[in-house]
């Protein structure tokens, strides 16, 4: 069931206008509403309101179990995953306007667009490229890899839990935010290292392993930083070798797409032997 749901979602993301998941980001709307209405209330109230959609999801899955030979359950799994995927389309249109400006040779416009759209404050062309690649890698991780990991481990409720925590972690003024940040770090820790290992398989193996060796068991290393380091290490060419402007994002997208394929093959194999 889990593999079929992932394949169905991948087909929807690839071949329909829903490349950024469900058209309305319902989870972000829910989290903002909860954060706004519980800002001056006890923390437990915000937690209770966030648990409600998890309970509702579990109840719907229980009620749908066995209906129409499992087809209803499959559709519910796919719908929850579409709600949980990232909204930025990192393997497609994300940063396309920045790439176009770079391709025209207008590095100043590219830097301004990166600052406006991605809050990247680049002081040089090299730092801009590194920042863009890091953003693409991070958005792919939190938009695809991490929700898929928790879906495979805990089902739709796991993916929903991850997305709710990730969204609430951005509510900087809420008293629950520090707790959510710690929970997010814990939820990201293992899948980030698995992504690093998959990047080693599809990229420069020795360099990625060297990067991971010092960080693999380090709890304090931020997942965002680790993913960016692994992506840079996985590339076979350096920044100096990649002079064509159009190619500044393409190698990263190729690596991340191949990493997703590695995950898909592993999931399919586990389903076959399981």
Burial class (CB in 10 A: 0-12, 13-18, 19+), 188: buried
The pLDDT of residue 30: 95
In which band, very low, low, confident or very high, does the pLDDT at 147 lie, cut at 50, 70 and 90? very high
Kindly tell me if the per-residue pLDDT of 93 is higher than 60. Answer: yes
Average pLDDT taken over every residue of the chain: 90
Kindly tell me if the per-residue pLDDT of 8 is higher than 80. Answer: yes
In which band, very low, low, confident or very high, does the pLDDT at 207 lie, cut at 50, 70 and 90? very high
- CA-CA distances (angstroms) from residue 94 to 87, 127, 228, 239? 10, 18, 17, 20
Kindly tell me if the per-residue pLDDT of 245 is higher than 60. Answer: no
Kindly tell me if the per-residue pLDDT of 258 is higher than 70. Answer: yes
Q: Are 84 and 159 in contact (CB under 8 A)?
A: yes
Tell which wins on pLDDT, 120 or 245: 120
- Averaged pLDDT, 117-123: 86
- Averaged pLDDT, 136-157: 96
Kindly tell me if the per-residue pLDDT of 274 is higher than 70. Answer: no
Kindly tell me if the per-residue pLDDT of 221 is higher than 50. Answer: yes
pLDDT single digits (tens) 175-199? 999 999 999 999 999 999 999 999 9
pLDDT over 90, % of the chain: 64
The pLDDT of residue 89: 86
pLDDT single digits (tens) 102-117? 888 888 898 899 999 8
The pLDDT of residue 166: 96
């Amino acid at each position: 069931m889990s593999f079929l749901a992932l394949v169905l979602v991948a087909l929807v993301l690839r071949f329909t206008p829903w490349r950024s998941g469900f058209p309305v980001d319902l989870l972000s709307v829910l989290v903002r509403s909860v954060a706004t209405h519980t800002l001056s209330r006890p923390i437990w109230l915000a937690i209770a309101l966030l648990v409600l959609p998890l309970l509702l999801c579990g109840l719907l899955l229980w009620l749908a179990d066995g209906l129409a030979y499992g087809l209803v359950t499959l559709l519910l799994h796919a719908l929850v995953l579409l709600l949980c995927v990232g909204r930025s389309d990192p393997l497609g249109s994300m940063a396309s306007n920045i790439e176009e400006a770079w391709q025209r040779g207008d590095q100043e416009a590219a830097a301004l667009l990166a600052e406006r759209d991605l809050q990247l404050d680049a002081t040089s062309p090299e730092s801009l490229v590194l920042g863009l690649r890091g953003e693409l890698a991070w958005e792919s991780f939190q938009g695809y890899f991490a929700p898929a990991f928790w879906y495979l481990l805990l089902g739709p409720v796991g993916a929903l839990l991850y997305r709710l925590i990730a969204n609430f972690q951005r509510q900087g003024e809420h008293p629950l935010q520090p707790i959510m940040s710690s929970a997010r770090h814990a939820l990201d820790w293992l899948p980030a290292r698995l992504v690093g290992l998959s990047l080693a398989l599809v990229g420069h193996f020795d360099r990625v392993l060297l990067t991971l060796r010092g960080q693999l068991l380090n709890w304090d290393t931020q997942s965002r930083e680790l993913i960016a380091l692994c992506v840079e290490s996985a590339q076979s060419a350096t920044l100096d070798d990649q002079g064509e402007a159009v190619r500044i994002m393409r190698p990263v997208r190729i690596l991340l797409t191949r990493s997703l394929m590695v995950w898909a093959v592993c999931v399919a194999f586990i389903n076959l032997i399981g």
